[in-house]
Amino acid sequence: MNNIRYYKGNILNAVKHPRIIIQSCNCNGSWGGGIAYQLATHYPRAEDMYVRICSQYNNALLGKCVLIPSYEDENQLIACLFTSSFGGASHDTSSDILKYTKLALLQLNKMIRTDDLLIDKEISSTIETMTDDIRKPLSKYSLEMPKINSGIFGVPWEKSEAILKEFEAELEFVVYEL
């Protein structure tokens, strides 16, 4: 059984089903490139929340997952997998990014299984303000992503894909390709 399906198209095109758009991101509060920039353009309130979380917790976010409502569509959430301290040329090493990706996905899996967004008590005070905007059980959302880590962070996709496959018994992913 394969837990990864590939889909050709733009991940930002509108869909009617509930979904979580998963992205790998930095802890520095910058959605300045790649899919993050596109998300910031489409969902400025979500970016504002991301910046607020980063300014409060910075590198304590490494290896964590935070779900942010899109604030534009109640069927769409954004999962920030905090995989690097910084973006751009200052990003972390590939091995660290992969380690933090796995930790963040473990946390996302636990959130989905327990339907509890406040799993990480260290950062729950900020996140608690967003939970009212998430109205469906997390298990009802499809997990969709671009080829995370492979853009600005420069990690070969096959390495991130191998981590996704480790969740074969628990999570299914739709990966968008252009």
Task: Give the domain ranges of the chain.
Answer: 4-177
Q: 3 exposed, middle or buried (CB, 10 Å; 0-12, 13-18, 19+)?
A: middle
Alpha-carbon radius of gyration of the chain: 15
Lowest mean pLDDT among 34-43, 119-128, 161-170: 119-128
For the chain, give the mean pLDDT. Answer: 89
Distance CA 123, CA 175 (A): 28
Q: What is the pLDDT of residues 97-149, one digit of tens each?
A: 999 999 999 999 999 998 877 666 666 655 665 666 677 889 999 999 999 98
What's the token pair of residue 35? Answer: 């899919």
Please tell me the CATH code under which domain 4-177 is placed: 3.40.220.10
The dihedral of CA 134, 24, 92, 162: what is its sign? positive
Distance CA 92, CA 113 (A): 30
pTM for the whole structure: 0.92
For residue 87, pLDDT over 80 is answered with: no
* Model confidence band, residue 24 (pLDDT cutoffs 50, 70, 90): very high
Q: What is the pLDDT of residues 67-84, one digit of tens each?
A: 999 999 889 999 999 999
What's the token pair of residue 140? Answer: 């009802």
